[in-house]
Amino acid sequence: MAPDEAWKILKSAELLCDEAEVRTAIARLASEITASLKDRYPLVLAVMGGSIFFAGNLLPQLRFPLEFDYIHASRYGKATSGREIVWTVEPGENVRSRCVLVLDDILDGGETLAAIRDRVRSLGAAAFYSAVLTDKDIGRKKPIVPDFIGLKLPNRYVFGCGMDVSGAWRNLPAIYAVKGS
């Protein structure tokens, strides 16, 4: 995407959650996750690349020892609708017998996070937890319900806070909806 196209999208977008709302949601999640997992020494897996913003803001607020790693699974690539899951980096043997917490930016249809859960469990994880910065209301049941949810969003094409629009604007500290979506 050309920079002028990206700026045009941002200028016409609707702000859904400002930076303060996002920070407040992440602080609340940190408190909830700490209360639940502080005695478990979990392996925390960030789903690249969308969760980098979420993980980077959440991890310093978790007040317990943890091990950190990442995985890379996507159904979107640069497309706007999902396809088959593509694993760039799969979970490793380090999940065996561990309490695993997976961090992701958004729960759309839930297929990607459900596939990650299934893969982590198949590798012998002792427990699986998931935390999403955002959960989109798509009007139907999803194959997974996250254990920790930061913000509820309407069923619109959203970007910012790790979520992109055609590869751009993952770096924004607020969440926007594309005009007309």
Q: Pseudo-torsion of CA 135, 139, 143, 147, nearest 10°?
A: 30
User: CA-to-CA distance for 95 and 127, rounded, in angstroms?
Assistant: 9
- Scored b (16 or more CB within 10 A) or e, 48-64 reads bbbbbbbbebbeeebee
**Which of 4, 39, 105, 108 is the catalytic position?**
108
User: CA-to-CA distance for 160 and 155, rounded, in angstroms?
Assistant: 15
Q: Is 108 a catalytic residue?
A: yes
Phi-psi region of 128 (alpha: psi -120 to 50; beta: other; left: phi over 0): beta
The answer to whether 86 and 75 have CB atoms below 8 angstroms apart is yes
Burial class (CB in 10 A: 0-12, 13-18, 19+), 137: exposed
CA 67 to chain centroid, in Å, comes to 18
Catalytic residues: 108
